[in-house]
Structure 1
């Protein structure tokens, strides 16, 4: 036998290593090849993505019963034929070995994560028995639902049929709520989700703390790219040199929490210099003279002292907007819960757009279609004599409910006890500030049910965990698009549910049977329900299944014309620059500046955002996406790093003013951030051991946000008011 040389051994070892790596990916690659060669059964299944809540139309390639490829549906307005990195990670979620596989019933203390496997019948019977007892002792309103995304449609009838209307979604109080209220007060309408922005045709795009390119909302990032390619001027307001700032003509590294000062100065300059749209303002707005008088005090020189932005740059950016009106896209932001004064800041952004004449104008914000499908009457739910908790004491708490109001009512037991929570499609411990408050509220419950795909941190505290199958394994409700044109999109399973997981519609329906509420689910399976809706909407169901999306282009009238006038559902019937409604509620009718607290010596303001490949805490354990971004980093200015003797890549911990200390987090020392703040990507530092790839990886910003201001108008929680110091030796 010949003796192998060291060189030959290393060469052979390299080949074996490469082969081992390739084998990891061989099954899907082989199946895709086999499908293309006609050697295995191949199907193309249309659906819509749920890796985030943009709900892009998608097409799944299924070969030999396995999903091997995802791509964007070219008929989808949110996908435009493409999927982002997160969207392509849907296969990783489907085949994640850590996903929930069976119903679980708690055996240890809450938070310990000790459960035993149960059958569906046992788990649902256990829940139903508990809920019946709670209803008998405390009334039906003692059940609350925290929900987000597609499961909402299935569990809302269950909640309301039970006799409760106490539900809330973090998308309101922890995300878009202040913006919704601010725009409705101004225009009588929200800007929509996805936002109705004609960005591709804009001459100026203004981003105020919006991280396009990192916050990967698919079609919007594509349109931002189009705007850049078309020569639009880009203005980015951000304490951090973000990806978007790298594309900007004007980067304004603003002092955190002083954005209102800049916006009010812009409004003042545009009015003073006559750069506003006089004809539009005269025809469509109410209260212009009062606005002009109120903002006179906000000069660029004054704003320079508040924001650290030179007065000349404030003037120059106001001029860019004024001279290119109305083709100015001022992004309203999406996660806008910053400082507890967020409705008024959103109002100021809406007013800035109004005086430039952008609403209903090309390059600004387009009008929603007025097309609609026939209304489907809702079921008749039992009435309640008790007040709903979902809006708390906030006069303009939204239709999606105020999570923190229900949490507080649970903790104090007033105005009546809340004894059961159902949590679907959301990880409350990662979505809401005040984790200690959430855990204390949970301790008052007799029952916590978590419905999820993955073992989230919230599931550690559940009494029962129910495994929902992934979006690639289920039907869900139709997505009715009300953007430029009316559209309908379908979700249908690409493969059958794996393990012992079930779709949310099945879970809700089966639980309804055990609660005697089956009349609220008058169909055998959810595809029957979809068929009924398509008949009502006059949509060919088979065509919808094949195409994935059906649009009605004749319903699109996106811009103001002589025969397409906007409708403003406000008290005046016009755009309200001066809000009588706010005045009657005891709030400022025109936004005014109020200085925010600044970090004490040795502390930094904690800012956070998103990664282009992750959605909150939902994807940090995803095998495909975790490989791309395993843990978050803490951005720290190089000046501050030198002062503290810290180096790039070093691990530190963060400690807030109340002494709460984070997991360790790796430093990213950079020139691209101001000295008075630090920044990290949200969603990391998870405590569930079931998330084997994400467990205790990086730091959790929500853990540190232990105190926070609350917007008195809508109940939104201000989550960029936390100050932290760095702890060495983590």
Structure 2
């Protein structure tokens, strides 16, 4: 998909989505009941239902649904929202096509064929739950709780994840949203400022936006994009470091076409220049940082010349970037990023971003890093039991230390896979997959398949028949986010130039469920009963779960419905520096664990001869693989053209629109093909594709074989040493045209 907007047109067009107005109220003279102005008359049977919270991506915008005769006919942003307002993205609007997808799972199914090539037999819920409960309990009885591994993802997976962790007692839980996305970011910032960062930068009020690999405009997280737009409209300068001409790079004042994997070197060079030239915030560093002398000494080798050589960018451009940041500090927004698992040296890069924010004095100031002071809502879940830590795979008992000391919550995926495949240090025999498509999220698909082959039992819970569901023994159909209660969304007014406000909302169904789909509380509780944990069940229904959580802030489902699905209250001033705030530029705990206490560049392998580095990212109208079967979104972006540098394309005989396949440096070929996008907007040593395409399950009749699965080509494992998270951009590919493998020129 081409991005042809100019900066001016982008701002003018996008500003239309930035407006948000509260709902007016209508009071009935006869009953005195306050009703939403949305409940207007119209076509017979039409009504507006409040309380929707989107889950077409994890940003979870607030929705209302237009319903006619019990059928959802349109989704819109909730006008009362101070988050996304009336705006939703293409994916949000297309949620209807997920709800009514003809391929959706409808009934419990049993695989009477073999894993990976299933033959499905419809069974009753009782039979399905009996088998799941019996097989999982048998695993625990024979091997112990640690013999179950769990791969959850999404709002509906939280309750069952806590069941298996807390009540059953397995440590072997790995969630992709942490390990493959933001986990490294969070643990690196916690090691630096003792707080996870989120995307908490005050973009509307900043003077400079600084992005490293951040491509806003392609992820389309509505409230975040609105902040970004406001910042640009208010005159903020934009600096983007990215190997390709992303949507953000197209709006940038400075585009740094950096060599992949060298981002930490780039940041160290900027910081060393600021320190050496006394362009950092000395007063802030004196008051709020620890370890500055060790930090300055640790980065002093990174001269402009060295940084330029390593990063393959001009030294003068690095200086220009550093000077622009210094001239506008502290009102600079150093974006922490998201989906930061890139090259296996990512913890150090995220530490460097946090430290750069610190030496510029850009914490808790307008236009800098500002935590969102949202309301606190008490969650309700399974009670935490004491369980034997001897089976924690991330702990080396001989050395009495963690293997990956700065791992995100859960267990690093490869520790689980290796244990399951080898049976060492103990057997893992059952696997529960809840809303996570492992084959499209974790590097080296064959290794994941080998995990499933080693299992005695595999249970999957999902909305659609994704690739991973083909490996299940029992497949259970779950309600979609439009048919159930669950998620409590809370937050703060994002435009911090306005009056500070907070909000609380809860996901509520917009329509009644169809077929035999069930919610996560029912499924998990019924399995818990069969596994002998009925006395530990914390709530009986999903409505009880939500109401108990809301009760902690004196709210209820009934009250939220009366308030159009969103409770708004006064907020708190976010620009207040905590008394105990400290930035650990040098962290002796990290050094004591055997890693550099000062952010340090770790080089990654260069391209093998004839290969280009495979890069990938988000598509504006898809959420990786989870939306690939959506008919509307498929029609908008049916495949993922590969970006190839124009000079490289000319040398190897490629033209725009050519059909190509791929082979990676380990000999793995793509199962499908895609088209070529010839562009000057990418480095010569890289190619780029949108991630999530190339589904292989034939039950996904829209998404199957559409585009190329970048994940299938990510076979080379590079694990971040501090966190245990996989790098996802360490594979190299050649293109195949008409059966001929094309070498990429050096």
2:170 to 153, 164, 171: 164
Out of 678, 683, 690, which is 1:674 matched to?
683
Match of 1:716 in 2: 725
In the alignment, structure 1 residue 549 sits paired with structure 2 residue 566: yes
Shift of 1:550: 2.0
- What residue in structure 2 maps to residue 337 of structure 1? 341
Question: Does 1:174 pair with 2:174?
Answer: no
Give the structure 2 partner of residue 13 of structure 1.
none
C-alpha offsets along residues 28-47 of structure 1, whole Å, 9 cap, x if unaligned? xxxxx998524224132222
Which residue of 2 is the match for residue 255 of structure 1?
259
Pick aligned residue for 2:535 from 519, 524, 540 = 519
Deviation, structure 1 residue 114: 1.8
Range 450-459 or range 525-534, more displaced: 525-534
Is 1:576 the counterpart of 2:592 in the alignment? no
Counterpart of 1:11? none
Which secondary structure state, in structure 1, belongs to the residue aligned with residue 155 of structure 2? coil
Partner residue, 1:407: 417
Q: Contact 1:512 / 1:518 at 8 angstroms: preserved in 2?
A: yes
**Alignment TM-score, normalising by the size of structure 1:** 0.91
Write the deviation string for residues 654-673 of structure 1: whole angstroms up to 9, x where unpaired.
11111100121211111111
Local SS of the residue matching 2:190: helix
CA RMSD of aligned residues (A): 2.0
Encode CA deviations 1:211-247: one digit per residue, 9 max, x unaligned. 1100112211111111111110000111110111111
Q: Deviation digits for residues 173-198 of structure 1, max 9, x if unmatched?
A: 21112111110111011102xx1111
| Aligned mate of 1:504, from 520, 541, 548 | 520
Structure-1 residue corresponding to 2:627? 619
Q: Is the 8 A contact 2:280 2:359 kept in 1?
A: yes
CA–CA separation in structure 2 for the residues paired with 1:245 and 1:36: 46
Structure 2 portions without partners, runs of 5+:
1-37, 396-401, 495-500, 740-746
Partner of 2:75: 70
Give the match for residue 5 of structure 2. Answer: none
Pick closer, same or farther for the CA change 1:390–1:470 going to 2, 3 Å: farther
CA-CA distance at 1:270 after TM superposition: 1.4
The corresponding residue for 1:388 is 392
- Give the superposition deviation at 1:80: 3.1
Give 1:534 shift. Answer: 2.4
Separation in 2, partners of 1:377, 1:437: 33
Is there any run of 5+ residues in structure 1 with no aligned partner, and where? Answer: 1-32, 569-573
How many Å apart are 1:622 and its aligned residue? Answer: 0.5
Deviation at 1:152, TM superposition (A): 2.4
1:446 maps onto 2:456 in alignment: yes
Classify the secondary structure of the residue corresponding to 1:151: helix
Q: Which residue of 1 aligns with 2:432?
A: 422
Residue 590 of structure 1 is matched in structure 2 by 598
Partners of 2:375 and 2:503 within 8 A in 1: no
| TM-score when normalising by structure 2 | 0.89
Aligned pair count? 687
Greater shift in the superposed pair: 65-74 or 459-468 = 65-74
Counterpart contact for 1:685–1:698, Cα < 8 Å? yes
Displacement, 1:200?
1.0
The equivalent of 2:479 in structure 1 is 469
In 1: Cα distance, 2:379 partner to 2:511 partner: 32
2:235 maps to 1:237: no
Equivalent residue of 1:87, what SS? helix
After TM superposition, the structure 1 = structure 2 runs for residues 33-44 of structure 1, keeping only pairs within 5 Å, are 37-44=42-49
Contact (CA 8 Å) 2:377, 2:549: kept in 1 or not?
A: no
Give the deviation of 1:544 after TM superposition.
1.5
Equivalents in 1 of 2:700, 2:715: separation in Å?
24
Q: 1:142 aligns with which of 130, 143, 147?
A: 147
Residue number in structure 1 paired with 2:647:
639
Shift of residue 543, structure 1, vs aligned partner: 2.3
Helix, strand or coil at the partner of 1:168: coil
1: CA distance between counterparts of 2:110 and 2:349?
45
1:110 to 1:91, Cα distance in 2 relative to 1, 3 A:
same
Query: Are positions 1:565 and 2:565 aligned together?
Result: no
Q: Does residue 1:360 correspond to 2:368, yes or no? A: no
Q: Do the aligned residues in 2 keep the contact of 1:150 with 1:425 (CA within 8 Å)?
A: no
Is 2:468 aligned against 1:458? Answer: yes
Equivalent residue number for residue 692 of structure 1: 701
Counterpart Cα distance in 2 of 1:410 and 1:185: 31
Offset at residue 481 of structure 1 (A): 3.6
Aligned to 1:60: 65
* Contact kept in structure 1, 2:285 and 2:292, CA below 8 Å: yes
Which residue number in structure 1 is paired with residue 10 of structure 2? none
Q: 1:118 aligns with which of 86, 98, 123?
A: 123
- Which residue matches 2:24? none
Partner Cα separation in structure 2 for residue 482 and residue 383 of structure 1: 37
Task: Identify the residue that residue 6 of structure 2 maps to in structure 1.
Answer: none
Instruction: Name the CA shift for 1:38/1:715 in 2 (closer, same or farther; >3 Å).
Output: same
Give the one of 314, 324, 328 matched to 1:324.
328
Q: How far apart are the structure 1 equivalents of 2:66 and 2:376?
A: 32
Cα shift readout 1:441-474 (whole Å, capped 9, x = no counterpart): 1111011111111111000111111111210011
Deviation at 1:382, TM superposition (A): 5.5
Separation of aligned partners in 2, 1:419 and 1:104: 21
